Amino acid sequence: MKLSYIISGLLVTSSLFAGTHTGHWGYSGEEGPEHWGNIDPKYAECKLGGSQSPIDINAQNTIKTIGLDAIKFDYKTAATSIVNNGHTVQVNIADGSTITIDDKTFELKQFHFHAPSENHIDGKPFPLEAHFVHVAKDGSLAVVAVLFKDGVENPIISKVWKKMPHKAGKQNEFKLSAAMINKILPLDKTYYRFDGSLTTPPCSEGVRWFVMKNNPEVSAGEVNEFAHIMHHPNNRPIQPTYARKVLQ
């Protein structure tokens, strides 16, 4: 099914899961982000696209909007498994959790992590970023991004880290309640909004991005533990904004 391929295949699954090294990408060397558009014709949008993610959100590209709709979060199902695919650590969610925005409902499929952050605020990166990936019935995508700031240990992140596989290609059963998943998000859910893309090949555009303005804390130890498991930074560099505007 095409939809499941987008979620499990293109966003996060590496060649370890696909069973082939065709189109294999990474974060350094000849497989690094600057080469993604040349690795496979299917990844051409990585170099040709005009609305790529991540971006730097700053005073030059933001517009204050009156009455920006609140995102209706309805996360009510638990996590089922956790995967290390060599590119990130991904937590898969049972069907039934959603967000509603633009009079459209998107189902939460998974959340995963990048360190350091992919999106920046006023030129500043954050130590960790979580992406909550949602899909509508028509296949359109919405990503809610949470940028974590330096601070005290995050108890929910700590629970996730305790179950994350240490080797690429491994998956563990993982039960994390809906209540705990909700606690990863900040209490104040005001956001920046822009049109963007997947931050991994094939870098498909048309993705609704919602970057939370408020930043939960995470400890340096937790960030270092994730970085150690990944063996490398797993953030795509900032992409040009061009004529895009960020709504807030």
Measuring CA to CA, which residue among 128, 120, 149 is closest to residue 59?
120
Q: At what angle do helices 155-163 and 220-230 cross, to 10 degrees?
A: 20
Handedness of CA 218, 222, 224, 227 (dihedral sign): negative
21, 24, 35, 87: the active-site residue: 87
- DSSP percent split of the chain into helix, strand, coil, nearest 5: 25, 30, 45
Token pair for 162: 């305790």
Strand-strand pairing, 141-150 and 98-101 = unpaired
Tokens of 120: 């920046």
Q: How far apart (Å, rounded) are the C-alpha atoms in residues 76 and 135?
A: 16
- SS3 at position 43: helix
Match 């992409």 to its residue by tokens: 239
166 labelled catalytic:
no
Partnered with residue 81 across adjacent β-strands are 92, 173
Q: Decide if 69 contacts 102 (C-beta within 8 A).
A: yes
Active site residues: 87
